[in-house]
Amino acid sequence: MKRKDLIKKLKINGCILIRHGGNHDWYQNPTTSMSQPIPRHREIKESLAKHILKKLG
């Protein structure tokens, strides 16, 4: 999955960017207070993208 597509889905679910890290950006869902790092690779493995969406969605 493309990184930009994953970020679009996260923003639709209400997630916000907390901070920029060295190799990852941290996003948080304010309703559940769950945080998750998002790698800065252009392509993210489908299994990792599903895990991130499940945890933050």
Q: Residue 32: which domain range?
A: 3-44
SS3 48: helix
Rounded CA-CA distance 10/22 in Å is: 20
Asked whether residue 57 is assigned to any structural domain, the reply reads no
Asked whether residue 11 is assigned to any structural domain, the reply reads yes
- Positions in the chain short of pLDDT 70: none
pLDDT for res 57: 81
SS3 41: coil
Asked whether residue 53 is assigned to any structural domain, the reply reads no
Beta bridge partners of 45: none
Question: Whole-model pTM?
Answer: 0.90
Helix axes 46-56, 3-12, angle to 10 degrees: 20
Asked whether residue 14 is assigned to any structural domain, the reply reads yes
pLDDT for res 50: 96
Closest CA to 3 of 34, 38, 29, 28: 38
Rounded to whole angstroms, the maximal C-alpha distance in the chain is 28
